[in-house]
Structure 1
Amino acid sequence: MKNANLPNVGDLPTLHQLNRATALAFGVAVALLATTILPAEYGVDPIGTGRLLGLTRMGEVKQAEHAAETATVPAATTTAPSAATSNVPATAQSAEVKVTLAPDEGREVKADMRAGDKITYAWTTGGPEIRFELHGEEHDAPADEYTSYEKGSSAGERGEFQAPFDGMHGWYWRNRTSSPVTVTVTATGTFRSFAAKPKS
């Protein structure tokens, strides 16, 4: 069997032509990366074309959503109750807390509850949707150990919550909008305290 139609040496591209084609392909790839891929996927716009084409905002939204999905809820800056107060029973009461979140700011409101304590809660932003997570951690738990009960994006939620263990239970909110948002949260039930955590 013979190989047919083998190219002549003169028909093959020269080293100079190959180098030029490689450089051209590399230049096109860099141009696409800078003008389209970085703005649309990562919100990075090194030469300004992403904003002109409307791609930068899309990338910023993608990155914000990705960060919100993967962000670790900051540990509550609380101390374990002392021996003198740990035996004090939670009492039925009502509380309301308001926190104002600057753009991209996150805050927590937590209730100190014992296992079996129950609250009826409601929180609202009055309109804008923000990221939220209902979670809890035991007293003296390491900073990265917590139990997540529910998370998502919402302008408000209401329901009932029963503490599965002694500890701090409540919400972490993050404002991914471009304007300040005030969250109003109310709770009625058995708890020892209900308050916003200090800004970190």
Structure 2
Amino acid sequence: MQQATPQTMVLTKSALLKYTIFSIVFAAFTLLIIILPAEYDIDPTGIGHELGLTIFHQGKDASADQLLTPEASKKSKGDSETIEVLVPAGRGVEYKFIMAQYQKLEYEWITDGSALYFDLHGEPEGDKTGYFESYAIATLSEMKGSFTAPFSGSQGWYWKNTTDSPITVQLIVKGEYAQHGLK
């Protein structure tokens, strides 16, 4: 068996053309099957949905009203509301409230035992840059408090579950908001 040396690794024009075509086909395949479904929710083949890649995009480019599920869009003023949020094993979820500037939300959340990494933050309405402002970041199994929205937009939690089993968060809220739900 002869070892490849720099002198023996000369590519012919046909080999170079073959590798170039292979690279273009591979890039197109990756774009159609992985990148478009995950980043832009465009899934011409349907394979991205079957692989679960379209979930990464949910709500990225939507307006605040389109981010939330219709069943979770009740308006709440003085009554408290209890919401259960399931955080799958090894995954993260966002639960958001659409609030006008200076609206107040009182909250309390508790898990069914395990601590979750969380980021309580807000995203300004209409912002396309990806800007968000964090109000609290920690790893806890419960938290109680209130906040006043510093700007109009979506305000809420990102919870990340690093365990091997799903964790249920019981979220109790009272305050002023237009809609709420998973983002």
Name the TM-score, length of structure 1 as normaliser. Answer: 0.53
Structure 1 distance, partners of 2:169, 2:159, is: 9
Give the aligned CA root-mean-square deviation in angstroms: 2.4
Residue aligning to 1:119 = 105
Q: Deviations over 1:98-156 (max 9, x none)?
A: 12122111101111111110011011112100100000001121252111111010001
Q: Deviations over 1:174-197 (max 9, x none)?
A: 001111111111210111112222
Structure 1 distance, partners of 2:137, 2:130, is: 17
Identity across aligned pairs (percent)? 31
- Alpha-carbon offset, residue 76 of structure 1: 7.3
1:175 to 152, 161, 168: 161
Q: Whose relative contact order is higher, 1 or 2, with alpha carbons under 8 Å and at least 6 apart? A: 2
Residue aligning to 1:109 = 95
Change beyond 3 A, Cα 1:128–1:195: same
Structure 1 distance, partners of 2:64, 2:180, is: 15
Residue aligning to 1:133 = 119
Change beyond 3 A, Cα 1:176–1:190: same
Give 1 or 2 for the bigger CA radius of gyration: 1
Question: Is residue 151 from structure 1 mapped to residue 137 from structure 2 by the alignment?
Answer: yes
Structure 2 distance, partners of 1:127, 1:143, is: 36
Is there any run of 5+ residues in structure 1 with no aligned partner, and where? Answer: 1-73, 83-88
- Partner AA of 1:162 in structure 2: T
Is there any run of 5+ residues in structure 2 with no aligned partner, and where? Answer: 1-55, 67-74
- Partner AA of 2:97 in structure 1: A
SS at match of 2:80: strand
Change beyond 3 A, Cα 1:139–1:184: same
